[in-house]
Amino acid sequence: MPVSPDKRVAGIAGCALWAFAILLPVWASAAVNPQQELVDEAQATVEAFNTDAGTKEALHTLGPETRAIFILPDFFRWGFLVGGASGKGLLIVRDEKTGRWSQPVFYNVASMNIGAQVGTDVSEIIVVVRSKKGVEQFYSAGFKLGASAGLAAGPTGTGTSTHGLSADMVAYARKKGLFAGVALGGAVVTVAENENGAYYGRSATPREIIEGSVTNPRSLELGHVTRKLFE
């Protein structure tokens, strides 16, 4: 018995809707990926620092002694009697032999204080890690910035010199295109295990990620733009 045109169209439409229902979650998961968004934001932060004359020269000066960088694309600070700050960051480490930058490790950063000034602000921050001691801090489950490894605010501007700067970590911040005070000392840094697992497809320690036990090719461009920052 021949199938009427109306039934044929209805059948095709039904198949199309069924396929759409099956594929929609896949498309949604591909489009909304908070881990990749953070990687892309970190890349944009590195590029912004590399186009700013003040930070570019300062970071170039630190280039030869840079072992790793910790990038906070959005570090939120607020205060009203009690103040706090929070953000998500990425650590990438440079291989001493090849000069290549590692895959990123995801972290959470938070702090709280009493008697803070009223107000809010958002900064993008790059912390240059200059010593093995500083890098080792990030391999732990959590630590306070500036507690065991020294943390200093980096000098900026044309003609900047880092001579005599001995801190294990040097932090630079930008606020709406302007330099902002770096208030990271005492902030608690913890490994974002869920974020790392989601990005690499399985759980992995910071050391495993740095050593290349897991990979995600979508993070390679971050290493490329970081290399340009220190050239």
Per-residue pLDDT at 222 = 97
Per-residue pLDDT at 231 = 74
Residue range 51-106, pLDDT digits in tens: 988 788 888 888 788 999 999 999 988 777 777 889 999 999 999 999 999 999 99
Question: Is pLDDT at 5 greater than 90 in this prediction?
Answer: no
Distance (Å, whole) CA 17 – CA 36: 29
DSSP secondary structure string for all residues of 220-231: HHHHHHHHHHT-
- What average pLDDT does the segment 32-55 reach? 92
Helices 34-51 and 193-200 cross at an angle (nearest 10°) of: 100
Per-residue pLDDT at 217 = 96
Per-residue pLDDT at 122 = 85
Residue range 125-161, pLDDT digits in tens: 999 999 999 999 999 988 988 766 667 777 654 444 4
Distance (Å, whole) CA 14 – CA 87: 46
- What average pLDDT does the segment 115-123 reach? 72
Distance (Å, whole) CA 149 – CA 135: 9
Per-residue pLDDT at 165 = 65
pTM value is: 0.79
Per-residue pLDDT at 132 = 93
Per-residue pLDDT at 95 = 94
- What average pLDDT does the segment 20-37 reach? 60
Helices 34-51 and 53-62 cross at an angle (nearest 10°) of: 100
In this structure, of 13-17, 129-133, 170-174, 198-202, the range with the lowest mean pLDDT score is 13-17
Inter-residue contact 224 to 50 (CB < 8 Å):
no
Residue range 183-219, pLDDT digits in tens: 677 889 999 999 999 999 999 999 999 999 999 999 9
pLDDT confidence bin for 115, thresholds 50/70/90: low
